[in-house]
Structure 1
């Protein structure tokens, strides 16, 4: 299995958890209206930070990758697959918050 397929599996699982959490939330429309901008900004920041710091870490030799398992698409020195894990975290964090929050009217 290549890193790209593994990354896509993680992204798919994260997206499914978020969709299930939103389906379960009775106030999903206001949540999506409130969240789209902060989540988009966080996603852009995560992508920039991943690109900068992964390029630095790869450049100084802290990390190496076997080319046989990579797609070959790179942003600088960073394989495109490296961006999947921060994106999965970005999807999972609000999903977990939704799944664990207390609903109004529930007992203490």
Structure 2
């Protein structure tokens, strides 16, 4: 389900996913197929990890990357969940062929 809230989305972001919702900053973003695909990839990741553990692992990995890169944006872009979503957001058929727990392939030390 897609919700619209320009107040809920952090500055610099267009959308976020909190299972089972995709929250977009503006209604016009509903037509951005790559953004929707990116967020759908996150929905799949959240389901695989039974939702709550996804957020815990996401937060821990963000903190590790923040220490590693000393830059919030670079830390965010290097979280394995984000790497999978960004790399595959243009492939609108990705979710049809995606293996379970594929985000592990995007984890790096």
TM over 0.5: no
- Report which of the two has the higher share of strand: 2
- From the CA coordinates, give the structure whose radius of gyration is larger: 1
Greater relative contact order (CA < 8 Å, ≥ 6 in sequence): 1
- Report which of the two has the higher share of helix: 1
> What is the TM-score normalised by the length of structure 2?
0.37
